[in-house]
Homo-oligomer: A and B are copies of this chain.
Amino acid sequence: MYRTNTCGELTLVNAGQTVTLAGWLQKSRDLGGLTFIDLRDRYGITQLTFNMDVNAALCEQARKLGREFVLQITGTVCERSSKNLKMPTGEIEIDVTDLKVLNAANTPPFTIEDETDGGDELRMKYRYLDIRRNPVKEKLMLRHEMMKYTRSFMDAENFVEVETPVLIKSTPEGARDFIVPSRLNPGQFYALPQSPQTFKQLLMVAGMDRYFQMVKCFRDEDLRADRQPEFTQIDCEMSFVEREDILNLFENLVRHLFKKVKGVDIPTMMRMQYADAIRYYGCDKPDLRFDMKFVELKSATNDIVSGAGFGVFDNAELVLAINAKNAALYTRKQLDELTEWVKDPRRGMSGLIYARVEADGTVKSSVDKFYDQEKLQAWAKACDASAGDLILILCGGTDKTRKAMGDLRLEMGNRFELRDPNTYICLWVLDFPLLEWNEDDKRWYAMHHPFTSPVPEHLDMLNTNPGAVNANAYDMVINGVEVGGGSIRIHDRTLQSKLFEVLGFTADEAKEQFGFLLNAFEFGAPPHGGIAFGFDRLCSLFGGSESIRDYIAFPKNNSGRDVMIDAPGPVASKELDIVGIKLNNI
């Protein structure tokens, strides 16, 4: 028995007890006659005292110990003279009578403190030391809690967790697969799954009724800051359900997680049409923690800006405004800076027009010479702007202006601290388009995958106006982050055939690409639908961090490398030979 207690649990209740603790030396203070050591384990920190007058030899030994040494001590729990009420063990200390060094330690390359002096690279290389730090450890423990409460909810809802295979078959569509040469089947390859999509649909055909899995998925993409080649999904599928059943159930899952993990009550989630999200927020994942909805000063159906001689507006397809409440005091310099910001190639706007509502109610704008006060008042009214507000206006082509205004809206949200990290606004975005037209191929493509069902009320339009057909699909968006998405699948063979026809597939082509799933669908597929949540992303949202990497124990960098273990690495050519491959450059 290495310890009687952990370093996080002793309090005044234990005063007088003889205890044995084990852990790491967090820091030590040598005050001459007294030496204090903070002993740390996963559970907390306990202060140890060594007294020269009581046991000089032991105290001398304690003085020599370095940071991160692994110690085992025995001693008596005593009340501290100078208490630290910020920590659970802050009222006691241990008068040490026995000390054993379980392991020495080299000086760590960065400090093991909440605020460390180590840079990203160094901390990734020594990830096993970084995890000793509270902020990192706590993120991994949050992840564990999230897994636990997800599973308990799903189990209570009669979902069965089924492990689907990792070594599967490569498919030509979608993102790039990681491939694995098969030694037993020379010249052939497994692929790692991008998602268990086909398997979960097969489990519905198999009558499993309610399936879920917390599962690793893999995508060989060019990595961006917040992408990982391997990531974890909460993957779910249900039979005999309509969209409403799925929305209600998974809304409850997320509310359950907020309640259990963060103690936060989330009200019934809002719902928004995809078209409205694009029109009013410029993206399919609006952050609704703040308002600042787009106002169309000029659009296909409305125009209060043209004909005043201002060519920029006259020629624009769309003129959008947002009302930054109480921002009228924004200086010229700040506005110039914002103008540069929207002109940045990432936004690509030709300029920014503003109008501020003065204290007396008059509106002053950067285009005063074209618009009289009456017209400007009409803008203010359209934007519901009053004294002290700042109206920001962008214009140009529809898609580009919406996107740029969406970015500007978020930027203003950031600048005015309207995106409170402790507020959570959850939203379902519904009714995505089913198809998108590809001008190069002159054909329709499925926006998700060809098994996504149209909404029932649009079935008739599949022949007449396929571009207007909505998918029975849904995304869950929290604070502007897409955390999950899914759809009702097609289970009806006639509808499936019609959709393949619209997509320009022959029956043979459909068979070749989706053979075994279509085959399975011949044997009695139930109506079904599902959803998948990006678990790493969900954890980072709950943890209040921007990066998913923080929530992965051993993440990879932007080149797909694990710098700690130095993977990937070379493989001996005889090993390649055994699996029937060789390198291209040999």
Contact = CB atoms under 8 A, between A and B. Distances in A.
A566 B148 contact: no
Contact of A184 (B2, B164, B223, B524): B223
Nearest to A215: B216
Interface in A545-586: 552-554, 556, 559-562, 564-572, 575-585
Contact of A128 (B184, B186, B206): B206
A31 B528 CA distance: 34
A190 interface: yes
A435 interface: no
Interface in A400-433: none
A513 to B, nearest CB: 13
Interface string A71-105: 01000000000000000000000000000001111
A219 to B, nearest CB: 11
A348 interface: no
B580 A584 contact: yes
A181 interface: yes
Given A163-B232, A185-B568, A568-B167, A128 B202 contact: yes
Given A151-B151, A206-B131, A184 B583 contact: no
Contacts of A575: 170, 179
User: Which of A202, A569, A570 has the most chain B CB atoms closer than 10 A to its own CB?
Assistant: A569
A170 B571 contact: yes
A168 interface: yes
B70 A166 contact: no
A141 interface: yes
Given A169-B567, A189-B571, A180 B182 contact: no
A554 B165 contact: yes
A159 to B, nearest CB: 9
A5 to B, nearest CB: 11
Interface in A507-566: 516, 520, 522-527, 552-554, 556, 559-562, 564-566
A144 interface: yes
Contacts of A182: 560, 568
Nearest to A584: B580
Contacts of A141: 160
A524 B41 CA distance: 12
B220 A169 contact: no
A527 B101 CA distance: 11
A169 B562 contact: yes
Interface string A186-205: 11111110000011001101
Contacts of A585: 186-187, 580
A136 to B, nearest CB: 9
A563 to B, nearest CB: 10
A129 interface: yes
A525 B560 contact: no
Interface stretch (A238-246, A303-311, A439-447): A238-246
Given A182-B560, A185-B560, A22 B103 contact: no
Contacts of A104: 493, 524
Closest 8 CB pairs of A and B: A105-B524, A169-B567, A131-B206, A2-B240, A188-B568, A42-B209, A182-B568, A68-B524
Interface of A: 1-3, 22, 24, 40-43, 68-70, 72, 102-106, 108, 126-132, 137, 140-141, 143-144, 147-148, 151, 155, 160-170, 172, 176, 178-192, 198-199, 202-203, 205-210, 216, 218, 220, 222-223, 229-230, 232, 240-242, 245, 491-493, 516, 520, 522-527, 552-554, 556, 559-562, 564-572, 575-585
7 contacts: A2-B241, A41-B240, A102-B491, A103-B491, A147-B161, A165-B556, A169-B565
